[in-house]
Amino acid sequence: MSADQPTPPLRTLPSPCVAVCKLDAGTGHCLGCWRTIDEIRRWGVMTDDERLVLLAALRERRREAGDLRDDRRRINRRRGLAVAT
């Protein structure tokens, strides 16, 4: 990166992906992380503030759909630990 180009912002929030990448035809949401295809595509260029807004929206989507599993279970699944459902 040259000196005249701004440094991209540091992004520290991990992706909500849980490696269950299948879109629901009815809702357009991923069955694993609840993001839309556009949200999945944009994740890499979002600021952390934008990511926080999206993560809150994902929690609300899951709640409205009756998916009451909490984020800790999703994190453990991503790490390869056993998850009770």
Tell me the residue type at 62.
Answer: R
Question: Which structural domain range is residue 56 located in?
Answer: 17-78
pLDDT recorded at residue 80: 53
53 found inside a domain = yes
pTM above 0.75, yes or no: no
In a domain, 33, yes or no: yes
Residue 2 lies in a domain: no
pLDDT at 5: 73
Residue 54 counted as domain residue: yes
In a domain, 40, yes or no: yes
Q: Are 40 and 23 in contact (CB under 8 A)?
A: no
User: What is the pLDDT tens value at each position of the chain, 85 positions in all?
Assistant: 566 777 666 668 899 999 999 999 999 999 999 999 999 999 999 999 999 999 999 999 999 988 766 554 555 555 554 444 3
**How far, CA to CA in Å, does 72 sit from each of 16, 25, 40, 77?**
11, 27, 20, 9
pLDDT at 65: 87
**How many domains does the structure of the chain reveal?**
1
Report the distance separating Cα 2 and Cα 6, nearest Å: 8
